[in-house]
Amino acid sequence: MLQKLGLIIFIAAFGLFIGTLGMNNYTLTDEILKENFKEEALFDAKIELASMVDQSYSNSYTFTNELSEGIKQLNKVYNAQQAWDKKIYEDTILSIVKASSNGYLTDNKGIMFLLTFGLAIFGALLFILPEAKIPAGIKNNGIYYNPAMTRKWLGICIGTFLISFYIILYFKPQYIANWTMLVDPVSKLINGGEASRWFMYGFLYTISILVMGIRYIIKYRHSKYQIIRTLSIMFFQTCIAFILPEIMSNLNMPSADLKNMWPLDYSFFFNYRLDKLLASGAFGIFLLVWGIALFVVGVPVMVYFFGKRWYCSWVCGCGGLAETLGDPFRQLSDKSLKAWKLERYLIHTVLAFAIIMTIGVLYTYFTGSYNLLGFIPTESLKSSYGFLIGSIFSGVVGTGFYPLMGNRVWCRFGCPLAAYLGILQRFKSKFRITTNGGQCISCGNCSTHCEMGIDVRAYAQKGQDIVRSSCVGCGVCSAVCPRGVLNLENAETGSRIMIAPDVLLGNLMEK
């Protein structure tokens, strides 16, 4: 009953959230143009957008469309003139839209924030919390009868929403200007300024991890490993990834997500970031050294002792979202041998791409030449990586495909850092998943609920330790095993059982 009410409240709040996109009136003024255009472009803008100025629009879509169209024309001219510095980017359009808006939403951001985000969180919790009343233990009841979790209509709807969200967020953020407005009050509170699209995204991301993290903890509350791991994810996302960078930029320091690292943070060595760090004195140098030490020293040492899980399922933001928001979809990952093959090709290709791209960027940074080895254009290497991997793969596909291909699409097929961690885990780590003698009954719970698509059972039923580069150590295979067969363990590297015994423990026949 309470749960149904929660669901209704959540859906209503979500509906209103979508509805806010159509709210407000819009009037573009000279003042706004002056604020948002560089002086050299202002004159052109005034001419190009003359027909819009001081007109009142009641439809956000028409207004944004017309504005975008006008700016597209301007950019065309600048492209032809090769006047790169005059070009106008999405974020500028976004702030023009924001500045031009007036009406209920603009005047009542606080109320609207509570009615959308506030109510959605409230509804979600009302739906989630009563689950704590049923006895603790694995309760995957009905997953395969649920249209959201089995690629049925609801799953497809959720996938479509997520995919569209990422496309708009990355490429046409001006259309979701109103969503950034909703979180302006939060942004003001934390950093004193208005919310950018990335603040809005970061907030939404953090809220998702927190709310769905609570769900996860309740679902797996019989396992202390799961509780502690999820609290870790929630902490790193909220404090280290979301709040700390805001505080840093508040203090006029270069802001950084201290747990993010190259090559996942692919722009770490981009010239503008290096310049900024190098220009920020001792703290900037510290960030630079920290960022390099993380992947040069931190990763090999930590993976040696704990496996890649220390990062992928305890710290990482992408992993954090996958483990929490993505948990209902974990069973959708493909377990076939074919998928495993594809995974290895793809993820190592991305790693190679990231390395070459970064070498190119650094080459350009230090030599000023835009052609690596005389023929590789570093700028297009950089921009194509950003577009193909940074935006399309990690965002649109990585999260958008949760309800279609499972919650670790990016981590499994695309993440270059996961590839790097994985190589170390496979060849130089104490970590393994141990199988318990002859106790496996081949039921397949472990494989079904492995988000990385590892056929865990294939190992368990022949008594071979699971040593796989992709394993993020989420521990769910161990949790869902009904016979106590699987355990995540660290021990001497040489003690990992890599070759299955002829027969399992419990058979004393003569061989």
Partner 1 sequence: MQHVVIIGNGISGITAARHIRKQSDCKITVISGETDHFFSRTALMYVYMGHMKFEHTKPYEDWFWEKNRIELKRAWVKTVDFEEKKLYFRLPNDNKEAKIGGSISYDKLILALGSTPNKFGWKGQNLKGVQGLYSYQDLESLQEITPSIKKAVIVGGGLIGVELAEMLHSRGIEVTFLVRENSFWNTVIPPEESALISRHIKENHINIKFSSELDEIIGDENGQVKAIKTKNGDKIECQFVGLTVGVSPNISLLKVPQGNMIGREKPAFLLGVGGIKLNLGILVNEYLETNIPDVYAIGDCVEHENPQKSRKKLEQIWYTGRIMGETIAQTIAGKRTKYQPGIFFNSAKFFDIEYQTYGQVPAELPEDTKTFYWEHSTGRISVRINYTTESQAVTGMNTFGIRMRHKVWDEWILSGKSIEYVLENLSKANFDPEFFKQHEAEILKKYNTETGSSLTLKSKKGIFSKIF
The pair of structure tokens assigned to 498 is 């890599």
- What size, in residues, is the chain? 511
- SS3 per-residue string spanning 260-275: CCCCCCCCCCCHHHHH
How near is the Cβ of 323 to partner 1 at its closest, in Å? 16
Query: How far, in Å, are 32, 43, 341, 365, 504 from residue 54 at the CA level?
Result: 11, 17, 59, 45, 80
Told to check if 441 binds partner 1 by CB under 8 A, we report yes
User: Of the two residues 272 and 338, which places its CB atom closer to partner 1 in the complex?
Assistant: 338
350 binds partner 1 (CB under 8 A): no
The reply on whether position 494 binds partner 1 by CB under 8 A is no
Closest to partner 1 by CB, 184 vs 455, is 455
Q: Reduced to 3 states, what is the DSSP secondary structure of residue 177?
A: helix
Map residues 402-431 to x or -, x wherever contact with partner 1 holds by CB under 8 A: ----------------------------x-
Q: Which of 11, 228, 297, 352 binds partner 1 (CB under 8 A)?
A: 228
Please say which residue, 72 or 222, places its beta carbon nearer to partner 1. Answer: 222
224 binds partner 1 (CB under 8 A): yes
Instruction: Give least dist CB 82 to partner 1, A.
Output: 56
Q: Name the one range near partner 1 by CB under 8 A: 123-131, 260-268, 284-292, 454-462.
A: 454-462
Cβ 426 vs Cβ 468: under 8 Å = yes
* Burial class of residue 495, CB neighbours in 10 A (0-12, 13-18, 19+): exposed
Please, what's the b/e burial string for 274-291 (b: 16 or more CB within 10 A of its CB; e: otherwise)? bebbeebeeebeebbeeb
Decide: is 489 part of the binding site for partner 1 (CB under 8 A): yes
Question: Using the rule CB under 8 A, is 232 a contact of partner 1?
Answer: no
Name the residue nearer to partner 1 (CB basis): 174 or 333. 333
Q: How many C-beta neighbours within 10 Å does residue 38 have?
A: 12
Based on the shown chain and the rule CB under 8 A, indicate whether residue 147 belongs to the binding site for partner 1: no
Applying CB under 8 A, does 152 fall inside the site for partner 1? no
Q: Could you tell me which of 460, 454, 387, 398 has the C-alpha nearest to residue 426? A: 454
Q: Cα separation of 485 and 433, whole Å?
A: 10
CB closer to partner 1, 74 vs 440: 440
**Residue type (1 letter), 145:** Y
> Does 339 sit near partner 1 (CB under 8 A)?
no
Decide if residue 222 touches partner 1 (CB under 8 A). yes
CA–CA dist 179, 511 (Å, integer): 69
CA neighbor of 187 nearest in space, from 160, 162, 206: 206
The residue among 47 and 228 lying less far from partner 1, judged by its C-beta, is 228
| Contacting positions for partner 1 (CB under 8 A) | 135-138, 140-146, 222-225, 228, 305-306, 331, 336-337, 430, 434, 436-439, 441-445, 447-448, 457-458, 461, 475, 478-480, 482-484, 487-491, 503-511
